[in-house]
Amino acid sequence: MKFSEKFIVEPGTDIKLSQRDPGDTLDFKDKKQAQKVVKKTQKRLKELQYLLYAENKRSVLIVLQALDAGGKDGTIKHVMGPLNPQSCRVSSFKKPTDEELEHDFLWRIHRAVPRKGEIGIFNRSHYEDVLVVCVHNLVPKSLWSLRYQQINEFENMLAEHDVHILKFYLHISKQEQRERLQARLDDSNKHWKISPQDFAERKLWDDYMQAYEKVLSRCSTSYAPWYVIPANRKWFRNLAISQILLEKLESLDMKFPEPTCDISKIKFD
């Protein structure tokens, strides 16, 4: 079975995260075994990225969502890090600026969508506006409840313009998050990453689980599917995401463009 088939949220189905094992590693036994596959996969991803850039007909958008310490930065570093930065851009979305708040919630997102030939990575995304906003009641329910459909329509519009969307929820357990946050406390080199807000948000774990279940159930579509990636084991997270990205790029059946001149007539002086 393909990794994409194993971890996809089938469109139109309701998902319960409690039924998805964050420690699942399929038949892979350890990091060493997985890294061999990842290394081979990354070599092929580089080739396909070059082909995507050369063809210049479409783009790929990767959306990463997770709770605090879920592994978004690590995924970018270990999965997408080896790619050519010339055509691979990362966009991070934090608290909206005053300028962004003066526009609709998708305005800042649309500006960051990758151009043709590029791979774009969203570290957090437009889904914060149906996650954080919902959990903290930042706007009335009558407003944020409309955003699920608005997001679906937005992503459908992108897909119709040859933006291929892959959305990954990095699924970790509450205990795993605790251990990762504790590791930051224990390592002085990671103290800069610590925010009291991260620890306060843990108290809302159940609320976030419910919010994510709504997002995954309502916004996984044929043109922009969600994948729930078991992320307790970082090495398996990297393996699964790299494989799903590879599957997508291979499926595009890309071709190098024809030369713009007669190559046979070009000669050196």
Domain boundaries, the chain: 3-25+48-251
Over residues 240-267, mean pLDDT: 94
Q: What is the pLDDT of residues 161-213, one digit of tens each?
A: 999 999 999 999 999 999 999 999 999 999 998 888 888 899 999 999 999 99
Enter the CATH code of domain 3-25+48-251. 3.40.50.300
Over residues 233-239, mean pLDDT: 98
pTM here is 0.96
According to DSSP H, which parts of the chain are helical?
3-7, 31-55, 72-75, 98-101, 107-111, 132-135, 141-144, 147-160, 174-186, 196-201, 205-218, 234-251
Q: What is the pLDDT of residues 4-60, one digit of tens each?
A: 999 999 999 999 999 999 999 999 999 999 999 999 999 999 999 999 999 999 999
Residues 6+ apart with CB under 8 A from 76: 64, 90, 121, 123
